[in-house]
Amino acid sequence: MLLSVSDLTKTYPGPDGQITVLDGVSMTMDAGETLALTGESGSGKSTLLHLVGGLDQPDSGRVDIEGVDIGALDDGGRAAIRRDQVGVIFQQFNLIPSLTVASNIAFQARLAGREDAAWSADLSDRMGLTAQLTKYPEQLSGGQQQRVAIARTLAARPKLVLADEPTGNLDEATADTVMTLMLDLVTETQAALLMVTHSERLAARMARRLHLRAGRVA
């Protein structure tokens, strides 16, 4: 089992006291599996993704990646998990604006010590980014930036890809193209994909679906 989430709880302070965002969520994923995380706004999808990626810490419960309880790790340990095992694709792309497209794509692989120039070039080619490699993120369209973000994640060959509405900023046709590319590459690299989405159409293309309602698995 690649990912195991058990009895996860997370609250945030609100104007009228604590707000429970996740309330005892449990789930598992195997290597190579694709899973759509759906639910209404505020149902806790993004929070669950952040906890799985070690970007935030739960109030209670645990997250295991390949048997390692990431809640028990210190900041450096969680950073290592993000760097070596997990890849996160954000809705906002979060590219490094001062680096070129080529440097952005190679960036996480270099952090993880797994830089593979041929693989990065192949990814760039399949993402249609070869002509953009020397440009900076601000010179690209939203769809192109998202493809750079996906290429950056996959270039590091993570075991688990976490995607937070990766096509949320794209039009339908571009979203379909990006989705197809992402699914193909995930399959090819045998990575598991946990994707937050509002789109029924995109969720349908995943192997499994988990629906959250008010912080619980529906």
Q: Does 75 bind other proteins (CB under 8 A)?
A: yes
Q: Considering the complex, state which of residue 86 and residue 206 has its C-beta at the smaller distance from other proteins.
A: 86
Q: Does 95 bind other proteins (CB under 8 A)?
A: yes
Residues 6+ apart with CB under 8 A from 33: 2, 192, 193, 207, 208
Q: Does 161 bind other proteins (CB under 8 A)?
A: no
DSSP secondary structure letters along the chain:
--EEEEEEEEEEEETTEEEEEEEEEEEEE-TT-EEEEEE-TTSSHHHHHHHHTTSS--SEEEEEETTEEGGGS-HHHHHHHHHHTEEEE-TT----TTS-HHHHHHHHHHHTT---HHHHHHHHHHTT-GGGTTS-GGGS-HHHHHHHHHHHHHHT--SEEEEESTTTTS-HHHHHHHHHHHHHHHHHHT-EEEEE-S-HHHHTTSSEEEEEETTEE-
List residues bridging with 217 in a β-sheet: 212
Q: Does 94 bind other proteins (CB under 8 A)?
A: yes
Cα 119 to the center of its chain, rounded Å: 20
Q: Does 136 bind other proteins (CB under 8 A)?
A: yes
How many residues belong to the site for other proteins (CB under 8 A)?
Answer: 33
Q: Measure the CA–CA gap between 67 and 58, rounded to whole angstroms.
A: 17
Which of 81, 127, 129, 212 is in the footprint of other proteins by CB under 8 A? Answer: 81
Determine the interface stretch with other proteins among 18-26, 32-40, 98-106, 122-130 (rule: CB under 8 A): 98-106
Q: Does 133 bind other proteins (CB under 8 A)?
A: no
Q: Considering the complex, state which of residue 107 and residue 119 has its C-beta at the smaller distance from other proteins.
A: 107
Closest approach, Cβ 208 to other proteins, in A, equals 25
Q: Does 82 bind other proteins (CB under 8 A)?
A: yes
Which residues from 99-118 bind other proteins, rule CB under 8 A? Answer: 99, 103, 107-108, 110-113
Q: Does 97 bind other proteins (CB under 8 A)?
A: yes
Closest approach, Cβ 80 to other proteins, in A, equals 7
Determine the interface stretch with other proteins among 28-36, 58-66, 87-95, 184-192 (rule: CB under 8 A): 87-95
Residues engaged in binding other proteins (CB under 8 A): 50, 53, 55-56, 75-76, 79-84, 86, 88, 90-92, 94-99, 103, 107-108, 110-113, 136, 142, 169
